[in-house]
Amino acid sequence: QVQLVESGGGSVQAGGSLRLSCTTSARPYAPHCMAWFRQAPGKEREVVASISTDGTANYADAVEDRFIISRDNAKNTLYLQMNSLKPEDTAIYYCASESEVGTWYVFTSFGCRLGYWGQGTQVTVPF
């Protein structure tokens, strides 16, 4: 069973930055398509950013030009650099990884079957 563990959340003033990390226990590690989602109170979970096996990145319109998704395969870690944070970015952020059994997601440039999820990390940007 693959485990994903997110870290890096917290509270930051509007305009500030945070970097989320997601470390996978998958062994041997192989690049998979992965994604960051978020869920705000009272709202449905939404995709924030995704990255394909070849490194292609897609972003939701709401975070385009502010967030950067990246991966360090040597460290088995996925990142989400969040800049110019806004109160509307407040949510629990989850990372997800490809699996043989899961839900098929269609992103702007590629599709990915996601079946492994982390426990989430809270990001709060006060008004």
Comparing C-alpha atoms, which of 93, 85, 94, 92 is closest to residue 126? Answer: 85
Instruction: Note the pLDDT of residue 27.
Output: 66
- Chunked in runs of 10, what are the mean pLDDT values of the chain (127 residues)? 93 98 79 93 96 95 97 92 98 95 93 95 97
Instruction: Note the pLDDT of residue 73.
Output: 87
Instruction: Note the pLDDT of residue 112.
Output: 94
Instruction: Note the pLDDT of residue 41.
Output: 92
Contact of 49 with 69, CB cutoff 8 Å: yes
Instruction: Note the pLDDT of residue 42.
Output: 94
Instruction: Note the pLDDT of residue 1.
Output: 78
